[in-house]
Chains A and B, each alone.
Chain A
């Protein structure tokens, strides 16, 4: 927590903005997996979208949480009045995929859950379950759960079997609550459905998170997810980060209605964090600074870090970066009725992340960092590289994509042919067997989804080991399908050639080469936009 002194001594955060690159612009730092690249962008036709500086965190998070629980938004009573002795209470919370990177202790979830449990205890509630809302993500390990909810909560609930990971393949543990008017089955965690109150604890890192998606997706299994996790829906989500224009969210919202109509009472708690991803000080603080403001010392430090990382084996680098925990600060917390809460949440997300950008560009460049939602404490395999670039970063827009239709996307990432055998077993098979045959999302969906989704071995590993569900790599592929359809060419800079080719993309060893390759598609003097992200920035393209 920051002291008041520090806060007052800091100039107020500057908003994100678009830099036009001229001859005096220094090289820009690109994320490149567990390393970085300095790239000089062509002057006169390039621009860089910079994120806002971190907003100030709330000075008293505990107080703010309590405040939110007592003064809910929308049609909801304050939490204490919803808690009754003898009631069935379920607290579901976001899993290891949020936030990214994981935040320093104490995690927001711990703070909120402790506050909620205090109120529940006061009200004499003793039937409480805590469920990590995994959907088809891998189970969280003991260490990860301890980090999210804190040792105190873990030790009082886990040994009794009251704190656990959702098992969306447990036929006894799941229930279908009904169908939406579109014929979408609403698959739901039975314990949550049968509780008198379901409290959802969310971390709204990007605008895609939260709202009805928290429960309709987070507490569902394949039966429900398949209705919106498919190529058709995702190609019609423009973008998935813009809830009003996202078919994915429309489906989740329809499901939210069914959940409500089924009598499931939800008390939604949503939070937002600031852009303090790499710290205002420390080894990675540079990544939050704008390049022309670097001091000579910064420059030296950066070069030293880059050289040092070059020398390290990838496993060592992975350990170093994997250990990084972000000093995120809470910027807002709101609780109550789902839609009212989410509206406020999105405003707060946008306040930190949204930057107005004028017009589209021929080429979009981005540096992909070492982490995405599905490789926390794991390995970022080539499919996840694709998903981070095409599924997430490409979709960080409102209005229209940063790059014009038929344009080129250039991403920078080493893209090693490496997989985590425990976390991503079906990814390995998907990469080796499916992608070697086709990269067309429609064909993949038609030919392989059922097979991967219903595979007994994958289901066994999802339920009993720490594996993402068999169908998950296909979902990754669908996530990228809007971008794949929109783009004329996709190039990865500095990637493993074989792996990049398997993804169906082109590989280039330098940005210059990539721009050269791109000229086939967009002509010799294309306009270029670089999305400098993370810290997170979302483009409002007008």
Chain B
């Protein structure tokens, strides 16, 4: 009864409760320790600490058992009584605590520090702030409060660095392989690198590069959209540089990555800052899904091994580095929480107090064995691809890390080239979707390459973590504790763990399709379509060209211009227009507004009444002939549902006039007049790019409509500002760029087509007025 008794009624401060280990720990303490009170230090984020704790911790399925046992109300009551969430952040000095926070903290008997930046590719300075300085800040705050609760700080076995052989439960700097560096200098260096990188990212050359990249991705989407994309790219560039800096610094000191490196220095820094505070360090190896508690297979978030496993199951990882007879040191999360409870219950002992919880030394899981288990499992339970075919998983040869990387890089280069080539082609609709898929594949390879870089070091690591202190602690427990708080790594049966616990949980968490898509249930598209066609929507905005009709302003012009021409004049017009097409296309690509401005000059001198008369004919011969019946039907469906329907187009008013009954309103450019004829200049700024968004926003505001409850249909990336502004964007026959954006963001993609059977006019010429000669 040692653990329960000792911790019962204690007040325990916890950091990192929103994380995988932290959530499991909170659950364990609430369910197994009577009457202990928990003070959770949670970064407030946008929701505030309390809301976050409620939404992100207590609603987690880890608490399902507890909820079931107590009922929802009972559980809420328990939480109210025993859990307090306050704003706190180990990344800022003073832990970001306000006065009440400090008072609350001062009442604590025990402090469990579990917050960490665990991502293996996090920017160096972030890892330094949290992993290295976090423990220091905790110690400092506790000292300032003049209290010295038992501080249990969670670290990692990998602080031992990339090495072979025994790694005992010793302080980091006691290792013969430790390269002695001053953690304070490391902190300064990391902060300086951040500053330098930020500065570098703002040089004109770099900014120009980001802008170019943004433009390549979005096309003529308008200045604000490009600007925000550019800034996003810049900040991602800085983060990438910082992650790289972390990786190289870690490698240079013999650590697999920035995580292990900052954690190692964090241990040293904590020892130096702790003063009178009794510290226990718990070092788990790779934490994976639960063996038994809160329930077998429980896992939170996508962690280290999962993405690799899923990528493998999807057939993406044809090979992976690693040494088949080497050990992969995995430990189920509940063994870790049990260890933490036991260490906390036992209380402080003589310093340094370090407990490792790992499996390698007494119950090793061989890498090759794990691979065989995974492969057998996915052969039995294959993941299904998009067209409902099971994916066969490959065997691995376990070549060295360099060979694997080369293999993946080759694939990446090929796909890059293919995509560059496709980007140049005017492709839309379902074909563009193929390219979007290609891009997805490239992303996946990129990810796989990332895994190889990130985790390669881990699977090739052959350190064996000593468990003397752990086993001593284990042996000191009575039978009841051993039963309730089991952390004996020997109890794990790896075959059972992989087959029955971990892999089922990984595919569930990864939401990968484990059966062919069923025909019965509503598929994603139907669901999205139902959302769009819900009476709750308020406004449906439509682009015209390639969204509702397969025609464009050039065709319209050619048709109108040819309406009253003789045969030779018609041919001349066609040739002229064809010759100009490349120039027009490139102008259109750069800036749609400029293109329209330039192109519409051609209407200069055209008699107004004649244009109106001919446009009425063009409506049937060109517009309706090339219309997408499904698109037109969709407009009408929206209208019938009581949504406001609005057409926002760069086509001229007389062209779209016959479409007026279809819409509640039409926003389109008009040409100025010079007496009875047009002057070829637009009266207003045409609604393209961001001004299309502006037109929509103005319209919604004027009609008191909520854009979040609105739908927008468009075909091109230049319509992004409009699509992004509404709650329900629909990409119609998207060109490549928009197809890939829509795919990534889960937007509905519609492929509207012309009526089957209508013959294609090669040239948009009007039938000659006055009948056949």
Contacts and interface: CB of A to CB of B under 8 A. Distances in A.
Given A143-B771, A457-B662, A465-B658, A419 B625 contact: no
B661 interface: yes
Contacts of A464: 616, 619, 658
A315 B629 contact: no
A456 B758 contact: no
Contacts of B754: 421
Nearest to A314: B757
Which of B620, B630, B759, B767 is most buried by chain A, counting CB atoms within 10 A of its CB?
B620
Contact of A419 (B621, B632, B755): B755
A429 B658 contact: no
A419 B755 CA distance: 6
B624 interface: yes
Interface size class of chain A, counting residues whose CB lies under 8 Å from the partner chain: 20 to 34
Contact of A465 (B619, B662, B756, B759): B619
Contacts of A146: 771
A191 B630 CA distance: 38
B18 interface: no
A142 interface: yes
B642 to A, nearest CB: 15
Given A142-B771, A457-B662, A425 B756 contact: no
B564 interface: no
Interface string A4-18: 000000000000000
Given A420-B755, A422-B624, A456 B661 contact: yes
A417 B758 contact: no
A315 B757 contact: yes
A321 interface: no
A457 B661 contact: yes
A432 interface: yes
A317 B633 CA distance: 29
A307 interface: no
A115 interface: no
Interface string A293-335: 0000000000000000000001100110000000000000000
Contacts, number: 69
B636 interface: yes
Nearest to B754: A421
Contact of B757 (A416, A429, A432): A416
Interface in A127-176: 142-143, 146, 151, 154
B627 interface: yes
Given A456-B661, A464-B658, A419 B757 contact: yes
Nearest to A429: B633
Nearest to A379: B757
Contact of A428 (B619, B629, B759, B770): B629
Contact of B624 (A151, A318, A429, A465): A465
Interface string A507-541: 00000000000000000000000000000000000
A432 B633 contact: yes
B69 interface: no
Nearest to A416: B757
A466 interface: yes
B36 to A, nearest CB: 62
Contact of B759 (A315, A416, A419, A425): A315
Given A151-B771, A464-B658, A465-B620, A418 B757 contact: yes
B576 interface: no
A433 B632 CA distance: 14
A418 B755 contact: yes
Interface string B596-627: 00000000000000000000100111001101
A460 interface: yes
A418 B658 contact: no
Interface in A387-437: 416-422, 425, 428-429, 432-433
B524 interface: no
Interface in A452-468: 456-457, 460-461, 464-466
Contacts of A460: 658, 661
A422 B620 contact: yes
Contact of B636 (A417, A421, A457): A457
Contacts of B756: 416-419
Which of B621, B661, B755, B757 is most buried by chain A, counting CB atoms within 10 A of its CB?
B757
B758 A420 contact: yes
Interface in B739-760: 754-759
Nearest to A451: B640
Interface residues of B, number: 26
Contacts of B658: 460, 464-465
A452 to B, nearest CB: 12
B772 interface: yes
A421 B549 CA distance: 11
A143 B755 contact: no
B661 A421 contact: no
A383 B772 CA distance: 31
A499 to B, nearest CB: 10
Contacts of A432: 630, 633
A466 B616 CA distance: 11
Contacts of A420: 755, 757-758
Contacts of B624: 421-422, 425, 461, 465
A421 B772 contact: no
A54 to B, nearest CB: 29
A105 to B, nearest CB: 12
A477 to B, nearest CB: 19
Contacts of B636: 457
B550 to A, nearest CB: 11
Contacts of B625: 421-422
B555 to A, nearest CB: 16
A421 B755 contact: yes
Contacts of B769: 142
A418 B756 CA distance: 5
Nearest to B635: A457
A195 to B, nearest CB: 28
Which of A421, A464, A466 is most buried by chain B, counting CB atoms within 10 A of its CB?
A421
A84 to B, nearest CB: 33
B753 to A, nearest CB: 11
B314 to A, nearest CB: 34
A507 B771 CA distance: 42
A146 B758 CA distance: 24
A419 B629 contact: yes
A381 B757 CA distance: 9
Which of A143, A151, A419, A422 is most buried by chain B, counting CB atoms within 10 A of its CB?
A422
Contacts of B755: 418-421, 428
A465 B627 CA distance: 13
A112 to B, nearest CB: 21
Nearest to A466: B620
A151 B771 CA distance: 9
B771 A421 contact: no
Which of B621, B633, B636, B771 is most buried by chain A, counting CB atoms within 10 A of its CB?
B771
A110 to B, nearest CB: 14
Contacts of A151: 771
Contacts of B662: 457
Given A142-B770, A416-B757, A425-B632, 15 more contacts: A143-B767, A151-B771, A319-B759, A416-B756, A418-B756, A418-B757, A419-B755, A420-B758, A421-B627, A421-B755, A422-B624, A428-B629, A432-B630, A432-B633, A465-B620
* Closest CB pairs A-B (n = 6): A418-B757, A421-B755, A465-B620, A460-B661, A428-B629, A422-B624
21 contacts: A142-B771, A146-B771, A151-B771, A315-B759, A416-B757, A417-B756, A418-B755, A418-B757, A418-B758, A419-B629, A420-B757, A421-B625, A421-B755, A422-B620, A422-B625, A425-B629, A428-B755, A429-B633, A432-B630, A460-B661, A465-B658
Interface of B: 616, 619-621, 624-625, 627, 629-630, 632-633, 636, 658, 661-662, 754-759, 767, 769-772
Interface of A: 142-143, 146, 151, 154, 314-315, 318-319, 379, 381, 416-422, 425, 428-429, 432-433, 456-457, 460-461, 464-466
